[in-house]
Structure 1
Amino acid sequence: MVDLRGNPFYLDEAGERWVKETETAMTPHEKVCQLFADPLMGKSREELIQFLEEYPLAAIPFRARLWQRGGSGYHGRASGAKNSLSLRGKL
C-alpha cells in the first residue's frame, strides 16, 4: 500500500479519499493506460479526443515551443484523459 499522506504526496484526508475512490472506479484498461505517456504530436483535435477516449493516458509530455497550430492539426501536446489521476477531462 502506498502512503499517500507521506513523501512525496502529502495528501490530506480528502485528497487520499479522492485518490482511492478514483482508483476504485477505474477499469483494468484505464489502470493499464496510467502506465504510459504519449507525446501525441501531429494529431488533429478530433484525433486527440478519439485517442484519449480510447486510451486514458497517465501523462502527455508537453513542450511549449512545439505547441503551434498549422497545417492539418495541432503540432504539439494536449492534456486529457477519462479517468487520469492528474489530467481528468481537460482536452
Structure 2
Amino acid sequence: MGLDFCWLGEQKQPPRVTLNDRDIEAVLRAFEKLKDRTGVFVDPYADTRIAPEQAKVLIVEIEKTKADSDGIRRLLNLLDEAVKSSEWIIAVGD
C-alpha cells in the first residue's frame, strides 16, 4: 500500500510524494485530526482533495506527531507549497 500526493489535475503524472505504510501509520493521527477540524479525512484507500486551508491544518497536525522520514518531510514541503501558491492537492489511495 502507498499514498500518493500530487497537484489536483496531475493525477496521470508521477506523484510528487508517496508515503509508504510506515509513514501513513505515523501520520494517521494527523489525518484523523484534520477530519475532526475540517471534515476532510485523508483516506489511505480512497482519493481525497486537500484545499490550501486544509493543508495548513494538516501541516500543524503532522508536525505535532513529530514523525520524521524523507516521505513525511517531502509531504510537509508539498503542503507548504500548496498553501503558498493556493493550489489544491489530491491524495490518491490504493
- Shorter-chain TM-score above 0.5: no
Judging by fraction of residues, say which structure has more strand: 2
User: Radius of gyration: which is bigger?
Assistant: 1
TM-score (norm 1): 0.28
The structure carrying a bigger helix percent of its residues is 2
* Higher RCO, Cα 8 Å, sep 6+: 2
Query: TM-score scaled by structure 2?
Result: 0.27
